[in-house]
Amino acid sequence: MRDTPLSPIPGTLELLILRTLGAGSEMHGFAILEWIHQSTDDALIVEDGALYHALHRMERRRWVDSDWGISEKGRRARYYRISPEGRRVLAAEEERWSRYVEAVGKIAPREAGT
């Protein structure tokens, strides 16, 4: 059962995207998907449609900026980067997420059978 990929918990996709972009340079959508997938050891799978809806929402909120460029495969692609406002949101969301994980950890079993 543990090998089954997970979808992000509702409300955390933006945090995952901001963290991904905050860890490096600008990336196109497919690279963001791959980074999340690889960074979680294949545990999290983000659907393409959900990613692009979130990126557009985040761009409207000015959490990310974007420009058109050419991908490593020679295709036109939109490249996203975290904005200064996105960095502020990321810091706040990381703090909120840490508090959430700590709170759930007080209730959820740490090991099977506990």
Residue with tokens 């600008």: 26
Mean pLDDT of 80-92: 97
CA dihedral 59, 67, 94, 2 (to 10 degrees): 100
Q: Which domains are assigned to the chain?
A: 13-105 (1.10.10.10)
Specify whether the CB–CB gap between 51 and 20 falls below 8 A: no
User: Average pLDDT of the chain?
Assistant: 90
Mean pLDDT of 57-75: 95
Q: What is the pLDDT of residue 21?
A: 97
Instruction: Classify the C-alpha dihedral 7-9-11-16 as positive or negative.
Output: negative
